[in-house]
Amino acid sequence: MPSSSASRKLKEAGVGFLYLLPALLVLAAFRILPILLSARVSLYDWGMAGAREFVGLGNYLAVLQDPVFWKSLLNTGWYMVFTVPIQLFLALFIAVLLNQRIRWLGAYRTVYYLPVVTSIVAVSIVWKWILHPDRGLLNYILSWVGAGGLRWLQDPRGLFQLVFGDTRNLIPLALRGPSIAMCSLIIMGVWKGLGYNIVIFLAGLQNIPKTYYEAARIDGAGRFRMFRSITWPLISPTTYYVLIMSSIVAFETFAQVWIMTGPPSGGPLSTTKVVMYYFYENSFEFWRLGYGASIAFFAFLIILGLTIIQRLVLERRVHYG
């Protein structure tokens, strides 16, 4: 009897593996194998026409000593620090509004989700026109209140530098904040990814049992008290997921940077040159494939580290009950 039970379990495991095999093959061919090949390339001084020389960890040491890499990492950090919290707050706020019984609810959800399914290339081109300093729609609207004339995608001044009126560059570079050009990309990035996070939050809100709110109303709780005591704790798993995924997506941003402020230098004074843009620049413009692969692996390690830190710090606060 035990032998037949064991053979049956083995047969079931084999059948399950056969079902998983196509997905595993695709994962191995398009994920695992490219990662392994990239790891091999990063150990070589690999240039154009396939010429290569083994340098071991030389590329990684060079990246650590590269001031442009650290500047691109700072630019990426500013993009994440502003994009992720703003997007999370707005997405939750709009999702709460859309979770009410209102007319044309389906139309509102569609409108908010349209940017997500629209091509990033098309969106970037439209926003590049909106932010044009002379013919852009945004400056035209701001001119109604006498506030137009900003050179959105060409202004290298830091946000904090502009706020505090630092005309002599007394504020250190790392503390000047994102450039005006980077702020333009942040605005576009928040708008582009907002709809996806709204849908995720909306799904989380609709999974909260209505009986909790009915009991709270009987006890005399107001809207703010219900949100703080019921909604916020019960959507903490959704918030945790949105935070992690938004951080990863923000760190990997590239397309809008390349299209809106791209070649030859990555925005005014390289203030929009993010890590992924620097990886692309070295790999496919300068043809330093080994150096580019090492930048990609540093990006992977940073994303992994951020995810682990978020999990260690935040997961204990997530309420799954």
Could you tell me the mean pLDDT of each successive run of 10 residues in the chain, 321 residues long? 71 86 91 89 82 88 95 95 95 89 79 90 93 88 80 90 82 88 94 93 89 86 86 90 94 92 81 94 90 94 93 83 62
From residue 231, alpha-carbon distances to 196, 214, 310 in Å are 19, 13, 21
pLDDT tens profile 201-220: 998 998 888 888 888 888 88
CATH code assigned to 59-317: 1.10.3720.10
- Provide DSSP, 178-222: SBHHHHHHHHHHHHHHHHHHHHHHHHHHHTS-HHHHHHHHHTT--
pLDDT for residue 253: 93
pLDDT for residue 321: 62
How far apart CA 217 and CA 223 sit, in angstroms, is 9
How far apart CA 176 and CA 160 sit, in angstroms, is 5
From residue 312, alpha-carbon distances to 89, 151, 307, 317 in Å are 22, 42, 9, 10
pLDDT for residue 1: 46
Can you tell me which residue has the tokens 């700072």?
Answer: 74
> What Rg do the C-alpha atoms of the chain give, in angstroms?
24
- Residues contacting residue 219 through CB under 8 Å, at least 6 positions apart: none
Q: Indicate the pTM of the whole model.
A: 0.89
